[in-house]
């Protein structure tokens, strides 16, 4: 019962984090829009039927039934005319769609308040309004990564002994468990215990586990005097590393092979101790690079999204596993959050950290996706404003008439295609997350 409660709690925490992130994203649009005088009719979190709303001034604030996004309704998102010339509706489906978008936009303009329309704003003001949402997601991500990196810290190899091997097994052995007759490890013979902190080896002060490993590997058959701190007291142990064989690996950890295709091995000194990991708080200077790395990873995923979705389809309808680094939908995110919260083998502090990481990653995803230069994303309006600014700049430079606002409504057919594709991908991810979820915890 406790596992189920924790599972549901994990989902609820991430869902609330997502809703708050969406609300702040829309607030990032709302505040500059109101500062610049744009009339905002609605501020809504979610889509579909309104569950709760209230009105303050000219704006209705509320929550809708489907928490799959949010929006603010700004007056006059699209210009009713392009270049100052009136338009007439065509009988074609796409032309009618464009005209319907203009008509719906015109209906949001109150009588005598056309000057408060979004399309009337200066180009730089429109860019600020549309960048406000992604900027809020960036701020949230930075704050959450600061909590994770500077508050919880990053697990790093310490100079403390985490494991002590009971025996020595050759590199070619397929066993992981000691059996009678196996040679006792030098660390067991010397009396090492988990929790011992390495102080010095043969008089050399130990500052890192890599330093200690280097000394041990270079000293097969040599008796070493090892000073460890145990329960606040320094203890001197006598240990002799034995000559041991292990596989050679490259920088990625892959076992290297010789010309005959056989695994390559090397002989090194071996004690049989493993390092413990400890959380080390990072400086504030580590936050922005971490966010930048995450942004870069999401951008790479978006660029390769078609192939990644093909891989998801192949895994969902075939025998192959899901790529743990591939795209995941809201159902998958919810499952991961539930699994994280119900991991009894992980300390609760680490579970909280993982949940915070999930919400931070969601905000990075919202940041990148909303900057895609296509409608209905914020990037589509930003691209339209930039194009309008370029046109007006060159018109002024060459003393030509003002070309007027860019008719972004003409992109509605492309917007429909984008929405359909997004819907299809979302359905595929929901199916894949249900029948073949990504397994990060075995």
Active site (catalytic) residues: 26
106, 109, 115, 116 alpha-carbon torsion, rounded to 10°: -120
Contact status, residue 42 vs residue 71, Cβ threshold 8 Å: yes
Helix (H, G, I), strand (E, B) or coil at 10: helix
Tokens coding 59: 């704006």
Question: In angstroms, rounded to a whole number, what is the distance separating the alpha carbons of residues 317 and 431?
Answer: 10
- Can you tell me the distance from the alpha carbon of 224 to that of 227, in angstroms, rounded to the nearest whole number? 10
Nearest CA among 383, 363, 372 for reference residue 295:
363
- The answer to whether the beta carbons of residues 113 and 39 sit under 8 Å apart is yes
Task: Tell me if 144 sits within 8 A of 290, measured CB to CB.
Answer: no
Per DSSP, 148 falls in state: I
> What tokens does 225 get?
């005097």
- Give the pairing of strands 224-230 and 233-239: antiparallel
CB atoms within 10 A of CB 269: 21
Beta strand spans in 240-309 (E): 242-247, 265-270, 273-280
């Amino acid at each position: 019962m406790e596992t189920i409660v924790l599972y549901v709690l994990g989902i609820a925490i991430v869902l609330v984090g997502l809703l708050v992130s969406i609300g702040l994203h829309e607030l990032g649009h709302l505040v500059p829009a109101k500062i610049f005088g744009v009339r905002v009719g609605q501020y809504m979190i979610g889509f579909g039927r309104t569950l709760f709303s209230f009105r303050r001034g000219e704006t209705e604030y509320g929550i809708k039934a489907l928490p799959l996004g949010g929006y603010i309704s700004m007056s006059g998102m699209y210009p009713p005319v392009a270049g100052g010339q009136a338009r007439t509706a065509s009988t074609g489906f796409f032309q009618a769609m464009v005209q319907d978008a203009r008509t719906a936009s015109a209906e949001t303009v109150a009588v005598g308040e056309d000057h408060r329309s979004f399309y009337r704003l200066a180009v730089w003001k429109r860019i600020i309004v549309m960048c406000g949402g992604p900027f809020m997601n960036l701020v949230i991500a930075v704050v959450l990564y600061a909590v994770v990196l500077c508050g919880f810290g990053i697990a790093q190899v310490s100079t403390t002994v985490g494991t002590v091997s009971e025996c020595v097994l050759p590199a070619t052995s397929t066993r992981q468990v000691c059996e009678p007759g196996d040679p006792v490890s030098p660390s067991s013979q010397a009396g090492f215990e988990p929790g011992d902190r390495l102080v010095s080896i043969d008089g050399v002060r130990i500052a890192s586990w890599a330093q200690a490993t280097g000394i041990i590997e270079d000293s097969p058959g040599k008796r070493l005097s090892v000073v460890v701190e145990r329960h606040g007291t320094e203890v001197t142990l006598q240990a002799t590393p034995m000559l041991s064989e292990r596989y050679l690996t490259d920088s990625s950890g892959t076992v290297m092979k010789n010309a005959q295709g056989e695994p390559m091995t090397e002989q090194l000194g071996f004690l049989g101790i493993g390092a413990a990991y400890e959380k080390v708080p990072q400086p504030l200077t580590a936050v922005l690079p971490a966010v930048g790395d995450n942004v870069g990873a999401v951008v790479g995923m978006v660029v390769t999204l078609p192939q990644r979705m093909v891989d998801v389809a192949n895994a969902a309808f075939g025998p192959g596993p899901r790529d743990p680094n591939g795209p995941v939908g809201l159902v998958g995110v919810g499952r991961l959050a539930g699994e994280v919260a119900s991991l009894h083998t992980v300390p609760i502090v680490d579970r909280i950290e993982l949940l915070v990481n999930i919400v931070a990653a969601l905000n990075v995803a919202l940041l990148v996706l909303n900057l895609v230069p296509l409608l209905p994303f914020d990037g589509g309006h930003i691209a339209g404003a930039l194009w309008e600014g370029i046109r007006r700049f060159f018109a002024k430079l060459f003393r030509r008439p003002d070309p007027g606002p860019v008719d972004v409504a003409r992109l509605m057919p492309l917007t429909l295609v984008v929405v359909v594709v997004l819907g299809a991908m979302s359905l595929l991810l929901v199916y894949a997350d249900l029948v073949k979820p990504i397994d990060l915890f075995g």
